[in-house]
């Protein structure tokens, strides 16, 4: 009879431990605010360029291995242009991530904006803002 009492206690301990493990890996994220898709070209400090497409409000995450920097670029339409919110992503020893606001870049479609406080010179060019096509899931 004593064996039957220990089994539920062990299962409860495993479930609590598993729940704690699942929470230990909280990744940094942002939330889509519209179905509009923003295409951007981001130039890294080493002059390498990356083209990305994200929903408005979601993050384009860029890792610069040379600078050992993870950055998030979050586009939001504003006053006829696009404001790109720039964040530094920090990974903690537990695996959790946190986002730290760096600066806003206000730009028009086709124009380039530049970081001034990011720890490296990133160039952001918004190429277009469009409705998602019915046949593609970008």
What are the extents of the domains in the chain?
A: 37-130
Query: How many Cα atoms sit within 13 Å of 138 on the Cβ side?
Result: 19
Better-scored residue on pLDDT, 108 or 63: 108
Return the pLDDT at 23. 52
Do the strands 49-55 and 123-130 form a parallel or antiparallel pair, or are they unpaired? unpaired
Tell me the C-alpha distance between 113 and 105, whole Å.
Answer: 6
Extended beta strands in 1-138, E state: 37-43, 49-55, 60-64, 69-78, 81-91, 97-107, 112-114, 123-130
What pLDDT score does 14 carry? 35
Between the alpha carbon of residue 73 and those of residues 4, 22, 35, 84, the distances in Å are 54, 26, 17, 6
In terms of pTM, does the model score above 0.95? no
Which run of H or E residues covers position 131? Answer: none
């Amino acid at each position: 009879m004593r064996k039957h009492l220990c089994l539920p206690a062990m299962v409860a301990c495993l479930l609590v431990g598993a729940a704690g493990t699942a929470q230990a890996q909280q990744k940094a994220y942002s939330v889509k605010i519209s179905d509009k898709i923003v295409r951007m070209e981001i130039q890294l400090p080493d002059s390498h360029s990356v083209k990305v497409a994200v929903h408005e409000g979601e993050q384009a995450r860029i890792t610069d291995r040379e600078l050992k920097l993870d950055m998030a670029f979050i586009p939001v339409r504003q006053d006829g242009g696009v404001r790109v919110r720039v964040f530094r992503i920090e990974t903690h020893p537990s695996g959790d991530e946190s986002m730290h606001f760096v600066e806003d870049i206000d730009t028009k479609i086709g124009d380039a904006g530049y970081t001034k406080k990011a720890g490296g010179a990133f160039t952001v060019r918004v190429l277009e803002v469009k409705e998602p096509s019915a046949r593609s899931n970008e």
